[in-house]
Amino acid sequence: MDKWRVVRSKSYNGAMNMAIDEAIMIAHKEGRVKPTLRFYTWDPACITIGYFQKLEDEIDLERCKKLNVDCIRRITGGRAVLHEDELTYSIIVGEDNPLMDSSITTSYKFISEGLIKGLNLCDVYTDELNKGEKIGRENLSAACFNAHASYEIAINKKKVVGSAQSRKDGVILQHGSIVLDFDVNKLFEIIKTESKEKKERLINFTARKASGIENETNIKLDINELEKNLIQGIEDHFNIEFIEENLTQYEYNLAEILYEKYSSDEYNKKR
């Protein structure tokens, strides 16, 4: 049975969370660490934008400052996500690992199935996974949670887990938000819209498409218990053994260097 590392959750600001994910990715590529499952939270709240988004076109930076919300560009694609009342996971593993399919959507499905097993252990039951949907241009926005991609996790047809994946130098990084309480109004305070009317329409549309686990189930989840059950569910589904470890000193040192990139205007405003 393969052994993977699990790193239990700690809170960091947005730049450090993204720096640590990339540091693990590099350390794994160099053969220094096992495949890794990591959990984390955000302090303060943070909106992350996808790698290809245009920050200043889509995010109200002044409003972010007033609300004490960080704004960071991810290494992964996709659209903007507000990280606040959630538990975030990341999985870092080689593309050549036999558990990971060469198809991004197939590997998404496999990882989602593991997450669902963990949620079931919390008595949280989700919709059947599906191939996602297309939405009309009039309802598109910079927000990730107003559309369902392939094999994303939903309850009552509302997305509650949003994930993104990057593949670089033979290594997969997938990270995602397991949302507990979804605040659609705060999200659209931060995301720019063309008019007040369009903002109201997008708020209403997104509220029908996205939510949080606690919003949909009325189950108040303890984050530590949720994390423990997700570890168990993924371990069972992947048929692996998790070894709980901390980040190595090498990863911390590398993350400190990468932090400078993720906290810089040059990187975050480069598009």
Active-site residues: which are they? 144
- Per DSSP, the three-state class of 28 is helix
HSE toward the beta carbon, residue 118, CA cutoff 13 A: 26
- Per DSSP, the three-state class of 262 is helix
| Residue 228 in tokens | 């423990």
Strands 81-83 and 153-155: unpaired
228, exposed or middle or buried, with CB in 10 Å at 0-12, 13-18, 19+? middle
The answer to whether 112 and 129 have CB atoms below 8 angstroms apart is: yes
C-alpha distances (whole Å) from 148 to each of 115, 121, 211 are 17, 24, 12
List Cβ neighbours of 83 (8 Å cut-off, separation of 6 or more).
14, 42, 45, 46, 47, 48, 177
Backbone angles phi, psi at 246, to 5 degrees: -90, 165
Helical H segments across 39-151, by residue range:
55-58, 61-67, 104-121
C-alpha distances (whole Å) from 139 to each of 144, 196, 206, 210 are 12, 14, 9, 13
Q: Residue 165: which H helix or E strand, with range?
A: strand 158-168
Cross-strand pairs, 4: 242
